[in-house]
Amino acid sequence: MTDRKPPQTEIIPDNDLKTEDIYFYRVILFNDSVNDFDHVEDCLIKICFKNKKEAKKIALEAHNNGKAVCFTGSSEECETVAEKLSLEQLTVSVTK
Q: How many whole angstroms separate alpha carbon 72 and alpha carbon 92?
A: 13
Reading the chain (96 residues) residue by residue, the pLDDT tens digits are: 555 555 454 444 445 444 455 669 999 999 999 999 999 999 999 999 999 999 999 999 999 999 999 999 999 999 999 999 999 999 999 999
* pTM above threshold 0.95: no
Q: Which helix (H) or strand (E) holds 26?
A: strand 25-30
The structural domains of the chain, ordered by start, are 22-95 (3.30.1390.10)
